[in-house]
Amino acid sequence: MGKKIVASVIIIAVISIIIFSAVLVGNFQSTDFGKIGLANLNFSNTKVFNQEAIRESKPPELSIKDIRTGIVDDGRGNFSIIFNLFNPNKGTVIVESISYNVYSNSTRIASGDIGRRPEGFVDAQDSIFPVIGNGTLILKDKKIIDSANNLNGSQIGRNNDTSKFLVNGSYFFKQMGSFQSTGGEKDFSIIYPRP
């Protein structure tokens, strides 16, 4: 029994000396794993965190891929919009929500929200949209609109090729990099189709 205790103390002492010497030399404070000296692992010039992902970051670029309107029956119409979100950064961007208004002939025909901003740390994350670096995400929304409220048939007409729409609003985003995040709110105003 005494030999087991002595062996355990020796093993703990050896492990403590190894850890102390590694910390003293500073290898564990480095993000370059090649300096740690682990024999069977090849980590040549590997970095733990991508700090360059949030340096000189740009907000995501929002555009409209398509808008469709049509008369369903008397006094009602349908509306659908498809947004493209392009991330021009190296790191991932989290889009939390898009709030928009759609105008035709200076009359608002639709408004809506895609996603919602999380409130607090424990809020559900089911409505956030990650966009990887140099990637594109497509977000869609559909609505039934009441064409009897100050709208005429031309504003939600069957021929989408001749209709012009002004879409404005804002979107919320966060740019992720290591344990830091930056971001905010960006306003937009887009004419569709482009003139």
Residue 98: CATH number of its domain:
2.60.40
For residue 53, tell me if it sits in a domain: no
Pair 140, 121: CB distance under 8 Å: no
Domain span including residue 117: 58-192
Same domain, residue pair 85 and 181: yes
Structural domain total, the chain: 2
- pLDDT digit string, tens, across residues 65-112: 999 988 777 777 889 999 999 999 988 899 999 999 999 888 888 999
With respect to residue 16, please indicate whether it lies within any of the assigned structural domains.
yes
Q: pLDDT digits over 131-189, tens only? A: 999 999 999 999 988 766 656 555 666 555 667 899 999 999 988 765 556 778 999 99
pTM of structure: 0.66
Give yes or no: residues 84 and 159 share one domain. yes
Tell me, yes or no, whether 24 and 97 share the same domain.
no
* HSE-CB for 127 with a 13 A CA cutoff: 14
Residue type at 153 in one-letter notation: G
